[in-house]
Structure 1
Amino acid sequence: MPKADVKATLKDFKVELPKTVKAGKQLWEISNAGQETHHLMLMRLNDGKTMKDVEAFFKAPDPSQAGAPPSKMWADSKPSPRDARPLRAST
C-alpha cells in the first residue's frame, strides 16, 4: 500500500492531526487509538469562509439561527464516483 500523505489518530475525546494539510488529492491513514468508536468528517470550506465561521456556526445556541453552513458536506454535494478519495483506516 502507498505511503500516507496525512496521518490522523482518533483518541477518546481528541483527534491528532498535523497543523497544516496541503490542498489536493491525498492518501490519509486514520487510526483509532481510543476505547470508543470514533468518526472523522472532512469538509471543504466555502470560498471566503474561515475556521472562525465554522466555530460560530456550530456554537450557535439555536441551529435555525446559525445561517448557511460555512462548508459543503458530502451529503449535500452529491459527489460522483470519480470524486472518491483513497482511504486507509486501521484500528
Structure 2
Amino acid sequence: MRAVGLLRYGGPEVLRLVDVPTPHAGPGEVRVRVRAAAVNPADTLIRAGASAVRRHGARPLIPGLDVAGTVDEIGARRRCRPRGR
C-alpha cells in the first residue's frame, strides 16, 4: 500500500511517499478503502512534533485523521463482559 508518511518530525518537506504493508482490521475494527483524505490542524501539529500530540510508535508515521471511503474489511466481533461481574 502506498501512503504519505514521515520518518522524522518537521515541516512539509519531511513528507514522503512510502510503501507500507496493507493493514487488516483487528477485533472490533474496520478497514476503510480511502477515497479522499484531508489534513486538519491536528495533523499539522503531529507532523511538526508538537509535544502535546507527539505520537510514538512505528515509522513511518502516517498522518491523516480525516478520511472518507468505503468499509472493505470488518474485524472479528469483540466479546464484551457484562459490567459489574
TM-score w.r.t. length of structure 2: 0.25
**TM-score, normalization: structure 1?**
0.24
Richer in helix (by share): 1
Determine which structure has greater relative contact order: mean sequence separation of CA pairs < 8 Å that are 6+ residues apart, divided by chain length. Answer: 2
Higher strand share: 2
